[in-house]
Amino acid sequence: MNTIIITALSLGLLAFAMGVMLYYASIFFYVEEDPLIEEVNEILPQANCGACGVPGCLNFAEKLVKTRDMGLFCPVGGNDLALDIASLMGLEAVERSKMVARVMCQGGDHATRTGEYKGIKSCKAVAIARQNDFTCSYACLGYGDCVAVCDFDSIHIINGVAIVNEEKCTACNDCIIECPINIIELQPYDKTVFIACRSLDPGGPVRKYCSVGCTGCKLCVKACTFEAIHFDNNLAAIIPEKCTNCNDCVTECDTNTIVVSLKGMAEIKESIKSNEKVAL
Amino acid sequence: MRKSLFKPVTFKKGGIHPLENKHLSAHKAIVELPLPDQLSINLSQHLGKKAKAIVEKKQVVCIGDVIAEADGPFSALIHAPASGTIKRIEEKLSAQGIMETTIVIEVNKEKTGIDRSKFETLNEIDLSSFSREELIKKIQQNGIVGQGGAAFPTHMKLSPPLDKQIDVLIINGAECEPYLTADHQLMLEKSMEIIKGTLVLAKILGVEHTFIGIEQNKFDAIDLFTKILNDQNITHIQVIPLITKYPQGGEKQLINAITGRDIPSGQLPFDIGVVVHNVGTAFSIYEALYYNKPVMDRVTTITGFVKNPGNFRIKIGTSFQHAIDTGAQGFLDEERVRSVINGGPMMGQSVRQLDVTVMKGTGGIVALADAEITYQDEGPCIRCSRCIDVCPINLMPLQLADDTIMNNGKLLRDALDCIECGNCSYICPTNRKLVHWIKIGKKVYRTWKVQEEKFNKNI
């Protein structure tokens, strides 16, 4: 009986002593933190993707509250989030137009190959070994390094080429950094027309090695009444500021190189079935 | 024949003994390849910044004219290998697998002879009448770059930072890659010329000791050089026989074998007082000094699954197709060819098209057929550690590959030390593509470093 009482008392006393120490420690070591940081952090998407330029959402909240710089923008939350944060902070929101990633290639199954790549199945591996087996040196390699790195399920390989789901894309830049041949570009979401090709080769070879490549025919340049298409080095490119989404160039282009971007996976799958003049 | 006085040496760690297959082209006299109709010379013939074209379409050029000038000190000049007209300047796939700006020359076959007035022969030159700077300038003006494969601009290698004390010059006659015999043949046919080129290098660097390293499988070259040096009473140049082991010709391995010194990670040979040059480079220096002849061609071994393997003197810019057809008389069976390699089978790369052209650093063109290439999928790592045993740099390839697969940039700093020799891939019993993974690992490390620095600034 005695042993039990002594044990219980001594452990109890020990626990009490530790409790007292913890109480004083919590006062002595208390860190002053602005409660606003936690409030802001609560409404952030917690994707921890780094698109804002800061590592992690908590760090974003900290930096925002400390510097009070409303220029810091979270592309995942977008303008809606920016307005919420602004009302929390009591400052003016700085809105930005939504940007999306776009893959500047439609080759894949439409493009010819010169050899048979037998190495590690990754785009980075192909690019580093310089063993791209497409005849076109600017082709999307199709092994999906971009898909692996996307946190938002916004990019997929369909028919051998990468394509972005613009509804889900948060412009976090991960796929753009990952792509070893740099054919993914950030473009404004509301400019819906783009030229999905990066080949600088002249028309003759392009016609032979890809049925959807830019052949430099310049029909699009002539069709555009807003002078929004720029032609250089055998490749056409759209100037977003001048483009009005009229789609005249899309109609003129007879290799289907100029496309109207598709929003959402449902549309993408639909267009593959119907084979319209749209992005794959 | 006087035998070398030295015991054969080798590098202390790692190495493999692949089948040499040099018998196909060994001891075949160097043959000058007939001129092609067209030469396509890309502007990135060397390490460093690519040259800048100074010719235009339709311009007429003479053999030996400068067609591209160097872009700064870390670059090299390019000369027209033949007389002709500039057909066009375009983006074209190079033998190294990337698109490069290329000057295409339509060759004028009437003017095949070298314009002798441009290249006077000076049988004896008095080296003491040239200053060090004048010699380096002559080397630079003749577009000389390393002929060992990497094509480092030679004038830069000869101008190390002033605080580096160079005491050893090594001439690399190892030629450790299987199949290749170009350097061997050059050593047998042009021994005196190579020695003269070496004397120029020794004078420029002001070194007391010069060593010519030659692998034991080229015992006739060892004996020949030893005899000549002895007859000419040149005592400050020694021939060192090297045990035949791959990659004996690698700079780090060669220096370790001959001097016992190691190059610390991230440093270069001049940091430990050594400069290494290939025998082909020494020969180019001889041609530049004694003949005023710039780099316009090189000796390349065309071998493997071809009708007439051998060693050929080929003009820079000749297509692989032309070289194989006119030099090696075509493939043994075109249907069965699976790969044509630019370089040797260990470190070379398969070319995508046969219209890529010979560059200043192209030491070999190796054709391999279906029976010689067995493709197997990668297996899992069984941690047998053979890759660690064979690595000449003392790395752990299995660990580097694993870190690359797990995308662990932080742990991949050691990948940068890899010389991509291929020993690990060669020895792996489960066919893991170790060199490929480590190449990717280098990129993963560099990407991680950039992101780290960016994030550290942003917090």
Assess whether A159 and A221 both reside in one domain: yes
Provide, as residue numbers in chain A, all residues whose Cβ is less than 8 Å from the Cβ of B458.
53-55, 63
Domain count across chain A? 2
Has residue A211 been placed in a domain? yes
Q: Do the Cβ atoms of A166 and A100 come closer than 8 Å?
A: yes
Nearest to B117 by CA among B333, B291, B290: B291
Assess whether A81 and A186 both reside in one domain: no
Higher pLDDT, A267 or A102: A102
Q: Do the Cβ atoms of B338 and B368 come closer than 8 Å?
A: yes
From residue B143, alpha-carbon distances to A189, B199, B201 in Å are: 51, 19, 16
Give the C-alpha separation, B254 to B413, whole Å.
Answer: 24
pLDDT recorded at residue A34: 84
**And the tokens for B341?**
């390699």
Has residue A226 been placed in a domain? yes
Provide, as residue numbers in chain A, all residues whose Cβ is less than 8 Å from the Cβ of B440.
120, 122, 124-125, 128
Q: Which residues contact B171 (CB under 8 A, 6 or more apart)?
A: B194, B198, B201, B210, B211, B212, B213, B276, B277, B278, B279, B282
In which residue ranges of chain B is pLDDT below 70? Answer: 1-4, 112-123, 458-459
Give the C-alpha separation, B76 to B99, whole Å.
Answer: 19
Asked if residue A276 has pLDDT above 60, the reply is: no
CATH (domain of A68): 1.10.15
Assess whether A48 and A147 both reside in one domain: no
pLDDT recorded at residue B425: 95
Q: Which of B96, B433, B458 sits opposite A130 (nearest CB)?
A: B96
B350 touches chain A (CB under 8 A): yes
**And the tokens for A242?**
């001048």
For A169, counting Cβ atoms within 10 Å of its Cβ (0-12 exposed, 13-18 middle, 19+ buried), the class is: buried
Selected for mutation to probe chain B from A113, A120, A209 (highest B CB count within 10 Å) is: A120
Q: Which residues contact A52 (CB under 8 A, 6 or more apart)?
A: A60, A72, A73, A74, A75
Give the C-alpha separation, A195 to A213, whole Å.
Answer: 9
A151 touches chain B (CB under 8 A): no
Give the C-alpha separation, A164 to B335, whole Å.
Answer: 41
**Residue B31 parent element (H or E):** strand B31-32
Q: What is the average per-residue pLDDT within A159-164?
A: 91
Has residue A249 been placed in a domain? yes
Has residue A94 been placed in a domain? no
Share of chain A above pLDDT 90, in %: 46
pLDDT recorded at residue B1: 45
Q: Which long-range contacts (CB under 8 A, 24 or more apart) does B69-72 make?
A: B70/B140, B70/B153
**And the tokens for B27?**
């001891």
Say whether pTM exceeds 0.90.
Answer: no
CATH (domain of A103): 3.30.70.20
- d(CA B366, nearest CA chain A) in Å: 17
Provide, as residue numbers in chain A, all residues whose Cβ is less than 8 Å from the Cβ of B91.
200-201
Assess whether A210 and A80 both reside in one domain: no
The residues pairing with A184 across neighbouring beta strands, listed in sequence order, are A103
pLDDT recorded at residue B109: 83
Q: Do A59 and B459 count as a contact with CB atoms less than 8 A apart?
A: yes
pLDDT recorded at residue A280: 40
Assess whether A112 and A214 both reside in one domain: yes
Provide, as residue numbers in chain B, all residues whose Cβ is less than 8 Å from the Cβ of A124.
440, 443
pLDDT recorded at residue B114: 54
Q: Please state whether B396 falls in left (phi above 0), alpha (psi between -120 and 50) or beta.
A: beta
With vertex at residue B188, the alpha carbon angle to CA B187 and CA B190, rounded to the nearest 5 degrees, is: 65
pLDDT recorded at residue A92: 87
The residue written with tokens 């009490």 in the block is: A16
pLDDT recorded at residue A131: 87
Q: What angle do helix axes A35-43 and A78-89 make, rounded to 10 degrees?
A: 160
Work out whether strand B337-342 and strand B364-369 pair parallel, antiparallel, or are unpaired.
Answer: antiparallel
Has residue A194 been placed in a domain? yes
Interface of A with B in 88-147 (CB under 8 A): 114-115, 118-120, 122, 124-125, 128-133, 137
Q: Do B459 and A53 count as a contact with CB atoms less than 8 A apart?
A: no
Has residue A65 been placed in a domain? yes
pLDDT recorded at residue B30: 95
Q: How far is CA B248 from the centre of its chain?
A: 14
Nearest to B444 by CA among B421, B411, B419, B422: B411
pLDDT recorded at residue A279: 44
| Cα Rg of chain B (Å, integer) | 22
From residue B265, alpha-carbon distances to B389, B391, B393 in Å are: 19, 15, 10
Assess whether A83 and A173 both reside in one domain: no
Q: Which residues contact B242 (CB under 8 A, 6 or more apart)?
A: B8, B9, B10, B174, B213, B214, B215, B216, B248, B254, B257, B258
Provide, as residue numbers in chain A, all residues whose Cβ is less than 8 Å from the Cβ of B98.
130, 137
CB pairs under 8 A between A and B: 56
Give the C-alpha separation, A75 to A96, whole Å.
Answer: 9
From residue A194, alpha-carbon distances to A179, A182, A255, B379, B386 in Å are: 19, 16, 14, 43, 52
A50 touches chain B (CB under 8 A): yes
Give the C-alpha separation, A220 to A234, whole Å.
Answer: 13
Q: What is the average per-residue pLDDT within A43-58?
A: 86
Q: Which long-range contacts (CB under 8 A, 24 or more apart) does A147-153 make?
A: A148/A178, A149/A174, A149/A175, A149/A178, A150/A174, A150/A175, A151/A47, A151/A49, A152/A47, A152/A49, A152/A76
Work out whether strand B168-173 and strand B99-107 pair parallel, antiparallel, or are unpaired.
Answer: unpaired
Asked if residue A63 has pLDDT above 80, the reply is: yes
Structural domain for A50, as ranges:
35-89
Q: Lowest-confidence range among A257-261, A264-268, B62-66, B269-273?
A: A264-268
Assess whether A118 and A247 both reside in one domain: yes
Give the C-alpha separation, A243 to A251, whole Å.
Answer: 15
Q: Do B455 and A54 count as a contact with CB atoms less than 8 A apart?
A: yes
Has residue A144 been placed in a domain? yes
Assess whether A124 and A207 both reside in one domain: yes
Cis peptide before B247 (omega within 30 of 0): yes
- d(CA A121, nearest CA chain B) in Å: 11
String of DSSP letters for chain A: -HHHHHHHHHHHHHHHHHHHHHHHHHHHTPPP--HHHHHHHHHS------TTSSSSHHHHHHHHHHH--TT---TTTHHHHHHHHHHHHTS-------EEEEES---GGGB-BSS---S-SSHHHHHHHT---BSSTT----S-HHHHH-TTS-EEEETTEEEE-TTT-----HHHHH-TT--EEEEETT--EEE-----S-HHHHHHHBTTS-----HHHHH-TT--EEEETTEEEE-TTT-----HHHHH-TTS-EEEPP-SHHHHHHHHHHT-SS--
**And the tokens for A213?**
């490549």
Domains annotated on chain B, with CATH:
33-119+294-372 (3.10.20.600), 124-291 (3.40.50.11540), 386-457 (no CATH)
Amino acid at B338: R
- d(CA B147, nearest CA chain A) in Å: 22
Has residue A151 been placed in a domain? yes
Assess whether A146 and A210 both reside in one domain: yes
Assess whether A39 and A82 both reside in one domain: yes
Mean of pLDDT over chain A? 88
**And the tokens for A186?**
């950030």
What is the ipTM, given to two decimal places?
Answer: 0.81
Other Cβ atoms closer than 10 A to A6: 10
A201 touches chain B (CB under 8 A): yes
Q: Lowest-confidence range among A86-100, A171-185, A211-225?
A: A86-100
Q: Do A124 and B440 count as a contact with CB atoms less than 8 A apart?
A: yes
Give the C-alpha separation, A38 to A42, whole Å.
Answer: 6
Assess whether A75 and A202 both reside in one domain: no
Nearest to B124 by CA among B282, B352, B290: B290
Give the C-alpha separation, A160 to A157, whole Å.
Answer: 6
B375 touches chain A (CB under 8 A): yes
Other Cβ atoms closer than 10 A to B195: 21
- Residue A278 binned pLDDT confidence (cut-offs 50, 70, 90): very low
Asked if residue A53 has pLDDT above 70, the reply is: yes
Assess whether A57 and A184 both reside in one domain: no
